[in-house]
Structure 1
């Protein structure tokens, strides 16, 4: 006889009850794909980027909460959140493997339909960088036509970044570090911060929580760098050195982004140990 879950108490009728699809809002999610051509691979391209944006939304949720916990001196929950952010970046890295199944011939069938839209214009990606501390005011301009996107970015650059709050924990632990004067600028290598981190790394038992916090940030940036590298490789594999659809220099622009370091002090101190 065929199995009937009703026999074990499973609900099979959801008239007037919340179902799986209701809870997840799947009607909106699964009908949000609107290819503009008849090309088979455009669906892959759309879903790849939509799912990446969902993962970035979760990354921002975790980064924001981690920053709040660090600011409050409650580091243990922040460790879990930052670990999750690194794993999200790992998921984003894996997604490039799927997109790389698309060949240049297949992409050219629908690339013109993108117009000037480009991942370069991703609001959430920009916010991830801003929250981490890589703040470039020029990068707000692609969002100025939408106040609901530009205003949060402008508000973000007025508050301490994730790394600013981490440095505040070092000051609370007795390290003599000046506060940054310009929160709207990227973090630059700082000799005093590097010296503080070097002391922590030379005596991790004494500074275990700060030591672990530093490694959580390095984990995050490690996976973030891999995501950027995979982005460059995927773009070069599919379009070579053509200009990006948003007007950037494409691969050359993305290669420049590989040189951006979110937490320079934590990388530079390794040479000194």
Structure 2
């Protein structure tokens, strides 16, 4: 292609004084102006952008998960399948981002870590919203957000709404796969705990997938998503250990020990344990 090529010669728009441009539509002035390093460390920009882009991906994950939950509650399963598949791909992107952050060495992070104050990723309200949406409903984790009334309202509303898995179990019950009444009627503010009756219901689906194909496929979409979610948590642990070892986190948590505890959380316990009894 000639270095003198002019895209306008083929009809490309090049005058945007009175028209919407790419930058206008995406509000790039605000987006690219949101990085404000507090030190002169070269690597702080990486740290900021890593976390900002993660928050953007989480915003999209919330958008998709909420829509999927609504679709399932409305018996509109096919679009929910598409949304859940997309969320798995979102978490694949979040997983890949750790590879970039791991290029930062402990000595490089140390140069600006003190400038973070008490800020920490565990204070992310969007991550908390995702956990609540998926059913891990620890009310103690509301405390870091008590200073922000708007966020508290959002999280309290999420706690009062059935989780994604709650809606899946209700859907299964509506479709003739009887679920225990105690599970269906429990206080939705509480985390769903493993239930033998739910396990046996899923066993019937997995032992005969063909007549239960919709529920079988939906269950596998949930497992697929939790697989990516677990990998994201694991990558978080290994990245933190690689960069700060076993120091306490900036937010006061045990750092690696806190993150390892999070690895034990099961979002859809019966869907994992059903494999053992087939």
User: Which TM-score band applies after superposition, normalised by the shorter structure?
Assistant: over 0.9
Query: Which residue number in structure 2 is paired with residue 163 of structure 1?
Result: 165
Distance 1:102 1:156 in 2: 36
Distance 1:68 1:75 in 2: 10
Query: Which residue number in structure 2 is paired with residue 238 of structure 1?
Result: 243
Task: Tell me how far 1:187 sits from its aligned partner.
Answer: 1.4
Query: Which residue number in structure 2 is paired with residue 247 of structure 1?
Result: 252
Query: Which residue number in structure 1 is paired with residue 195 of structure 2?
Result: 190
Tell me the secondary structure at the aligned position of residue 207 of structure 1: helix
Query: Which residue number in structure 1 is paired with residue 217 of structure 2?
Result: 212
Gap regions ≥5 residues in structure 2: none
Task: Tell me how far 1:243 sits from its aligned partner.
Answer: 0.1
Q: Which runs of 4+ in 1 moved over 2 A?
A: none
Query: Which residue number in structure 2 is paired with residue 153 of structure 1?
Result: 155
Distance 1:43 1:146 in 2: 26
Query: Which residue number in structure 2 is paired with residue 14 of structure 1?
Result: 16
Question: Structure 1 residue aligned with 2:104, among 102, 105, 113?
Answer: 102
Question: Structure 1 residue aligned with 2:116, among 94, 99, 114?
Answer: 114
Query: Which residue number in structure 2 is paired with residue 45 of structure 1?
Result: 47
Query: In the alignment, does 2:233 pair up with 1:228?
Result: yes
Query: Which residue number in structure 2 is paired with residue 65 of structure 1?
Result: 67
Distance 1:111 1:172 in 2: 52
Distance 2:192 2:96 in 1: 28
* Higher mean displacement: 135-144 or 167-176: 167-176
Distance 2:185 2:230 in 1: 25
1:138-179 superposed Cα distances (whole Å, 9 cap, x missing partner): 001100100111111111111111000000111101122221
Gap regions ≥5 residues in structure 1: none
Task: Tell me how far 1:5 sits from its aligned partner.
Answer: 0.7
Task: Tell me how far 1:184 sits from its aligned partner.
Answer: 1.2
Q: If the length of structure 2 is used for normalisation, what is the TM-score?
A: 0.97
Task: Tell me how far 1:181 sits from its aligned partner.
Answer: 1.4
Task: Tell me how far 1:180 sits from its aligned partner.
Answer: 3.8
Distance 2:191 2:138 in 1: 7
Q: If the length of structure 1 is used for normalisation, what is the TM-score?
A: 0.99
Task: Tell me how far 1:75 sits from its aligned partner.
Answer: 0.4
Aligned residues, how many? 273
Query: Which residue number in structure 2 is paired with residue 29 of structure 1?
Result: 31
Distance 1:187 1:264 in 2: 9
Tell me the secondary structure at the aligned position of residue 271 of structure 1: helix
Distance 1:94 1:243 in 2: 25
Distance 2:208 2:186 in 1: 30
Tell me the secondary structure at the aligned position of residue 206 of structure 1: helix
